[in-house]
Amino acid sequence: MATKALALHQTTVGKKAIMAVTGFIMVGFVIAHMLGNMQVYSANPAAALKAYALLLRSFGGGLWVARLVLLGAVVLHAWAAISLVKQNAAARASRYHVKHDAVTSYAAKTMKYGGFVLLFFILYHLAHLTLHIPVGAPAVADEFAVFERMKAGFEVPWISALYILGNIALAMHLYHGVWSMLQSVGLNHRKYNALRKQAAVAVALVVGVGNISIPVAFMAGIVG
Amino acid sequence: MSQTIKLTLNIWRQAGPNASGQFQKFHRDAVSKDASFLEALDEINEELIQKGEEPIAFDHDCREGICGMCGMVINGMPHGPRTLTTTCQLHMREFKDGAEVWVEPWRATAFPVIKDLAVDRSAFDQIIQAGGYISINTGSPGDANEIPIPKAVADLSMDAATCIGCGACVAACPNASAMLFTSAKATHLGVLPQGQAERLSRARAMVETMETAGFGGCTNHGECEAACPKGISVDYIARLNRDYLKAVVVSQTT
Ligand code: HEM
Ligand code: FES
């Protein structure tokens, strides 16, 4: 069989595999990140979060390796997304006058829009809590005053609203993405196919509810 | 009980591949409930011919649900509202009296419209040419059952082989992707002992040909499986993904 020389990153199947692997890295990160965030509910959240920040910093080079892997994942994921969205739109250049959806979900149909909401949210979130650029929130001088910086931000209603919206977008992205990434790399079996969708619902709910509870708790005065 | 229904049919008319198309409205006062969808179109065409007008072009051949020619999108659903049914096997009793029906061609860049509802599906033939075969020496045929094939393997292959290549999967997919078709054809041969030697090179060649033919990629909506008149499963897509990735990432031979 004569094969034309197309590399992995030149086919839709290859691009989806890149999206799945980078998506998997990011899914692992958002689960761990959400669990870390839960320290706002500890008895002394200011001390707990400060200790956590210092612990992460103590990894030194390791922390930078993790950051670069994540940054690389976001860049590759977004590159593949843009490339696929373009190719897919070109493949259906002429649209149906009437189109009935049989089984797809709102989440699946909005992956591309939700992805861009996430990209914007990630940039805002990094500016706010990683780079300490107080976009719209009162500045907090101490680099390790994590809790105080969260409080200063979440007391501004639109900032809380932005985090809530960003995490709704994240939960929807995970609802389709988590089972989709398994399908994209060929991980399927009749025995656990149903489990893939259940796992996606669970990850979406746990990450979404966990993260959204934080701005809500600050606004309601439960923490802070 | 009345044996006929009234219908308003809006049918896509397009003079040629590059012409711009539009819907033409047909008011039908007495469509037999026992007629197939294609027979209802035949009746319209007879009247058009008698009036000296251009009949509606649509593809058909076997009219028994096995050749895959009769593709058209009816009310937004490839082959119409009944699941596991081709247009030729669809009966007019599926429609309510007085209903408005929209009939369009498969819409995909890789399937250009030839005329009206007829599209050019030769992109599927290119995918088959790239890998839809097993290389063997011809000559006198081998003995039947010479190579024992476990029942589960034969069933998997035969389920994939029920694909009639109609293109409903492409028509239903929001990205006009041909992954369901390609994966069914690759699996049909790829799981059999005779198809093993070329399994990974076949997966790669068929995917690459599909890419260059202008289809989109799979985003796991599942619309293809729901639209397929033969009920081909998206499990085959995962299998093709797996074989393609093996071929490109780890294989020593492809
Ligand atoms: C940087 C901004 C992002 C963009 C532009 C983006 C966009 C997309 C798009 C367009 C898809 C393809 C959907 C489809 O094929 O139906 C997708 C899939 C996916 N995304 Fe994202 N996304 C982004 C961020 C994220 C984040 C932060 C996560 C995880 C926490 C994530 C996890 C996933 C997963 C797991 C998939 C499924 C991959 C697959 O189907 O193989 N994405 N994304
Ligand atoms: S005409 Fe052959 S399948 Fe419908």
Per-residue pLDDT at A68 exceeds 50? yes
Could you tell me the distance, in angstroms and rounded to a whole number, from the CA of residue A115 to the centre of ligand 2?
41
- pLDDT for A45 equals 96
What are the structure tokens assigned to B211, written together? 């890419």
Answer whether B220 sits within 8 Å of A87, measured CB to CB: no
- Given a cut of 50, the residues of chain B with pLDDT beneath it are none
pLDDT at A141: 87
The string over B165-180, giving b where at least 16 C-beta atoms fall within 10 Å of a residue's C-beta and e elsewhere, is: bbbbbbbbbbbbbbbb
Helical segments of A38-156, H only: 45-58, 61-91, 106-109, 111-125, 146-154
How many Å apart are CA B88 and CA B96, to the nearest integer?
18
Query: Which residue, judged by its Cα, is nearest atom 8 of ligand 1?
Result: A115
Q: What b/e sequence results for B83-96 when a residue is b if at least 16 CB atoms lie within 10 Å of its CB, and e otherwise?
A: eebbbbbbbbeebe
Taken in order of first residue, the domains within chain B and their CATH numbers are 4-104 (3.10.20.30), 121-253 (1.10.1060.10)
Orientation angle between helical segments B122-131 and B199-212, nearest 10 degrees: 150
- A88-147 tens-digit pLDDT: 999 999 999 999 999 999 999 999 999 999 999 999 999 999 999 988 888 998 989 999
Ligand with minimal distance to B65 CA: 2
**Residue contacts between A and B (CB atoms, under 8 Å):** 158
Q: With CB atoms and an 8 Å threshold, state whether A4 touches B209.
A: yes
- Residue A2: is its pLDDT beyond 60? no
Map residue A90 onto helix, strand or coil. Answer: helix
Burial class for B227, CB neighbours closer than 10 Å (0-12, 13-18, 19+): buried
Q: Is A193 on the interface with B (CB under 8 A)?
A: yes
pLDDT-derived band at A65, boundaries 50, 70, 90: very high
pLDDT at A3: 47
pLDDT band at A183 (very low <50, low <70, confident <90, very high): very high
Token pair belonging to A190 = 């009749």
Q: Give the pTM.
A: 0.95
Residues of B in contact with A10 (CB under 8 A): 211
Query: Ligand 1: which of A16, A112, A173, A203 to mutate, judged by most atoms within 8 Å of the beta carbon?
Result: A173
- Report the pLDDT averaged over residues A175-191: 96
Matching residue, tokens 């985003």: B219
CA distance B46 to B55: 8
Mean pLDDT, chain A, rounded, equals: 95
The region, left, alpha or beta by phi > 0 then psi within -120 to 50, assigned to residue A136 is: left
Q: Residue written as tokens 């990434």?
A: A181
Q: Which residue has the tokens 């796991």?
A: B220
Domain range enclosing A180: 2-220
Q: Is A191 on the interface with B (CB under 8 A)?
A: no
Residue A177 has pLDDT above 60, yes or no: yes
> Which single residue is written with the structure tokens 């078709």?
B181
Nearest to A103 among B73, B222, B254 (CB): B222
Of B20, B8, B9, B94, whose CA–CA distance to B56 is shortest?
A: B9
The closest residue, in CA terms, to atom 18 on ligand 1 is A177
Q: What separation in angstroms does the CA of B242 have from each of A58, A189, B41, B229?
A: 40, 12, 43, 25
Nearest C-alpha neighbor of B95 from the set B152, B34, B141: B34
Kindly report the CATH number assigned to the domain that includes residue A131.
Answer: 1.20.1300
Number of domains in chain A: 1
Q: For residue B187, how far is the Cα from the chain centroid? A: 17
CA angle A68, A55, A170 (to 5 degrees): 50
Residue A4, pLDDT above cutoff 90: no
Q: What is the pLDDT of residues B139-167, one digit of tens each?
A: 888 888 889 999 999 999 999 999 999 99
Q: What is the spatial distance between Cα B24 and Cα B41, in angstroms, rounded to a whole number?
A: 13
CB B92 within 8 A of CB B31: yes
- What is the Cα–Cα distance from B124 to B130, expressed in whole angstroms? 10
Contact A18, A80 (CB under 8 A): yes
Report residue A189 as tokens: 């079996």
